[in-house]
Each structure stands twice: as C-alpha cells, then as structure tokens.
Amino acid sequence: MGGRDVDERVKLQFEYAWRWFDSHAKQRMTMFYYYLVMIGILANAWVASYDKGQTNIAVAISVLGIVTSVAAICFDMRNRQMCTAAEDILEKLETTAIYRTQTDDGNKCLVGPLSADREIGMREGQRRTWTQSGLKHKLWIRLLEGLSGAGFGLGIVMILQS
C-alpha cells in the first residue's frame, strides 16, 4: 500500500472516530440539559402538590424524579463509554499517524490533546488525585443526578413522616 493510500485511510479513520465521539459527546450533554429541565419541572410540581396537601401526587412525582435520576445516570454512563471508545481510537491515531511522539534524535515532540490528557492523568480509567477527579465532568454530572434523586427520595420520607 502506498503512502497516499495510508494517508487517506488515516483520514477516514480519524473522521469516523471523530464523528462518533462528537455525536456521543453532544448527546451526553444534551441529555444532561434535558435532565436539568425535567428535574426543575418535577421539583416545581412536587412543591405545588405538597403545598396543596396532595401527598399521593407528591409521592408519585418523587418516584418519577428518582426514576428519572437513575435513568439519567445510566444514559450518562453509556454515553461516556461510547465517548471513551472513540477517544481511545483518536489517541491511537494521534500517536501513530498524526503526531510524532519522538524525533529522530530521541527528543520528545508535541503530542496531541488526548495524549497530553493521558500524561497528566485525566483520561478515563486512570488513577487520579482528588484535585484531578474534581475537574472531571463525570463527577459533577453524576453527583447532581444522584443528589437530585436522593432529594426526591427525601421528599417521600418527608411525606410519610407527616
């Protein structure tokens, strides 16, 4: 296979992996935005039904809030897996075809963004410090989803105790 054919194949591989990543990364954030809107609507409905003494409706809204939060976490986990799969391929293309990681004299060259992320320990599956973990979207998205679900669970407890 000639050099030109290899270059075209690398371009095709890059384009395919990039589109896969881009699609699932956008889907992940879109799902989170819709989740925030849905939780806001449910929280408002819960407060309105609780204030009017409609506890059965408030419990049903709480259950829906918990289910919505669990589903959002599951969707986020799956979308993150699909993003990571594409990131792994893109990183491989960075190191083998797009960026050279070493010059002819043995000195290190500029690496691509995913390789640089790996060097500082921020790629999926790497061990991180607490500071590094605090900078990950995954932590904050899932924390907000989990706390929202727990809040609706506390709403049920509050109703049952009154």
* pLDDT tens digits, 100-156: 666 666 666 667 888 888 888 888 877 878 888 888 888 999 999 999 999 999 999
Evaluate if residue 3 carries a pLDDT over 70. no
Q: Residue 65 — pLDDT band, cuts 50, 70, 90?
A: very high
Which of these, 87, 137, 135, lies nearest to 115 by C-alpha position? 87
Residues with Cβ < 8 Å from 72, sequence gap 6 or more? 31, 32, 35, 145
End-to-end alpha carbon distance in the chain: 76
Distance CA 160, CA 9 (A): 62
H/E element, 95: none
Distance CA 119, CA 73 (A): 28
| pLDDT at 109 (0 to 100) | 65
Q: What is the pLDDT of residues 67-85, one digit of tens each?
A: 999 999 999 999 999 999 9
Helices 55-93 and 137-161: angle between axes, nearest 10 degrees? 170
* Vertex 81: Cα angle to 17 and 143 (nearest 5): 135
Encoded tokens for 133: 């973990």
The tens digit of pLDDT for each residue in 31-55 reads 999 999 999 999 999 999 999 999 9
